Chain A
């Protein structure tokens, strides 16, 4: 009970402080052209991915056998197919729109896996210190000793060709990043005045970590997650390119679209060009947003 009364006003005071940080950050974001461009791209991407079935002119897996391209001929742009059709006779625009959905789902789930597992590990290490910290950080070191794409390759190779395998493979690669981030943030705050005060007030360690330390790590974590979404989208494409992507040909995926366009590159380069540009622009959007968020949340920038 005592805990509650002491915690109450304190927590409120902190919340209002937090609000001003976020409000200030938002104000700085709305003034930065980089942030606006990034946000615009992300919003368009989210809308396209969410409303894919409404926006796409055709069914995702539909093909027109009568127009199926031969190895020597691919139908270009024309009425009914504004961006042409691919080598399987499917409408390019439809494939691109459903590809956005696939990228979003895999990117978000993979980042969520990395974030949750990494945050759990990092918080554990930072909060407990000692041998827990040592063991966790050794695990993180081992994971970091393999370049992340190779780590993803080895995991995807075990799990087989499926979207779930992609999510896990890419998510696991992000675990060490988040673990390090959260641990560093924990350690950095260990001797902060408000933590010492909470400790002196006799709050339980769990309450301090959950109520004070974690909320203060939120900013950098969101920044990192936004940036990781960009990497995840690029990595999905890379794994698809290596033949480790979604096995079901009915699922449209940008990376695989580039692969299947490869052997027709000389006669129909646009088949590879469109999905490539889509990957780049989407990744750029998340990167711009993440980078400007990082700057906006930087205490040095606050005025």
Chain B
């Protein structure tokens, strides 16, 4: 197992190295003089001088890359041009909101997707199966931001079930220790605040959750349809086990393995989906910050955020791989 971890970790190094070269080259590929591209056309000569100093745009490329790498290793991911704050701390400020949103979206996908996928797999080839597959396909072809707009219009503007913007009602004056608003509410005993934060996540979570939902349904369906014809399931049935026992202990246990893996990998997709959902619902997370950076042409923010998201994505993939190795001995061996 230790060897497996070490091997997977060393495989990460060239990827991250390549990524850093790519993002380094990216800022320099912007049209025109890099300092001017970063600051915009109306930059003062002093500001341009300052930027040239920080990024070393006057130095040879190799040296510039060295400066970039050494800054990264010192935790310096650059500074926002528009907001004048370090990119790294901005990212971690905004991360809790996005994590909360992603968790709600994933939960929705799991709670709805696995039973639907099970049903479709068990009845594969029937109308039930066709209906479920079509439904999950529908969820995946509607653009996330459009779905978000629709949900916002129907459920918060017309029906007024949910608040349409923000993470929490400001009038609640809730304490925020960790930045995870639901969690904060629970540990501080402010259950109303926690519930309010959750209510703000229902619609965005639903919109974002349709991305992994389609994948979860399809994976579960395929796995169940395959497992249900296995000999050990037939044996279990022949032994006279109750059908719930067979479902839980034999079918789902084996069918869910691949589903767990895909769930982990979906997190990367959720990050890009968050850019679109958070904007619609004005959730103050990584996605909305990234959206503003795109609008403002705030390249250091884009550069830093993409690198950080790729890092997190790589770590999640690694954890998924490792946990897969833990659950399934065959993976470890190979």
> Which residues of A are in contact with B by a Cβ distance under 8 Å?
34, 138-139, 141-142, 145-150, 153-154, 157-158, 160, 230, 234, 237-238, 241-244, 255, 258, 262, 265-266, 269, 272-273, 276, 279-281, 283-284, 287-288, 291
Q: Which residues of B lie under 8 Å from residue A243 when comparing CB positions?
A: 294-295
Given contacts A142-B22, A265-B149, contact A147 B269 (CB under 8 A): yes
* Most chain A CB within a 10 A radius of its CB, from B29, B141, B271, B275: B141
**Which B residues between 274 and 322 are near A, CB-CB below 8 angstroms?**
275-276, 291, 294-295, 297, 299, 302, 306, 309-310, 313-314
Q: Which residue of chain B is the closest to A281 with respect to CB atoms?
A: B141
Contacts of A241 in B (CB 8 A): 143, 145, 276
Residue of B nearest to A258 (CB): B146
B302 & A154 in contact (Cβ 8 Å cutoff): yes
Q: Point out the residues of chain B lying under 8 angstroms from A276, CB to CB.
A: 142-143, 146, 149-150
B137 adjacent to chain A (CB < 8 Å)? yes
B140 interface residue (CB < 8 Å to A): yes
Q: Which residues of A contact B150 (CB under 8 A)?
A: 273, 276
B contact residues around A157 at 8 Å (CB): 294, 297, 299, 302
Chain B interface residue count: which class?
A: 35 or more
CB distance from A125 to the nearest CB of B (A): 15
- Selected from B18, B144, B153, B309, the residue in CB contact (under 8 A) with A150 is B309
Q: Which residue of A lies closest to B145 (CB)?
A: A241
A-B contact pairs, 30 of them (CB 8 A): A34-B130, A138-B14, A138-B15, A145-B310, A145-B314, A146-B19, A147-B269, A149-B272, A149-B273, A153-B275, A154-B26, A157-B294, A234-B143, A237-B143, A238-B144, A238-B276, A241-B145, A241-B276, A244-B294, A265-B153, A269-B153, A273-B150, A276-B150, A280-B141, A280-B143, A280-B146, A284-B137, A287-B140, A288-B137, A291-B137
Distance, CA A287 to CA B31, complexed state (A): 37
The listed residue with most B CB atoms (<10 A of its CB), out of A276, A281, A291, is A276
Bound CA span A150–B302, Å: 9
- B138 on interface, CB distance cutoff 8 Å: yes
> What is the bound-complex CA distance between A237 and B269, given in angstroms?
16
B37 to chain A: closest residue by CB:
A158
Task: State the CA gap A279–B144 with chains docked (Å).
Answer: 11
A117 CB to nearest chain B CB (Å): 16
Interchain CB contact (< 8 A) of B306 among A154, A237, A280: A154
Name which residue of chain A comes closest to B305, CB basis: A150
Q: How far is the CB of A54 from the nearest CB of chain B, in Å?
A: 28
Chain B residues contacting A230 (CB-CB under 8 Å) are: 141
In the complex the two chains form, what is the Cα distance from A223 to B277 in whole Å?
29
Shortest C-beta distance, B243 to chain A (Å), equals 28
Is the beta-carbon distance between A234 and B29 smaller than 8 angstroms? no
Q: Which residues of A contact B14 (CB under 8 A)?
A: 138, 141
Q: Which residue of chain B is the closest to A142 with respect to CB atoms?
A: B18
Cross-chain contact of B271 among A147, A262, A265, A266 (Cβ < 8 A): A147
- Not counting A158-B30, A280-B138, a sample of 14 additional A-B residue pairs whose C-beta atoms are within 8 angstroms of each other reads A34-B130, A34-B134, A142-B18, A145-B314, A149-B272, A157-B294, A234-B141, A234-B143, A243-B294, A258-B149, A272-B146, A272-B149, A273-B150, A276-B149
Closest to A230 in B: B141
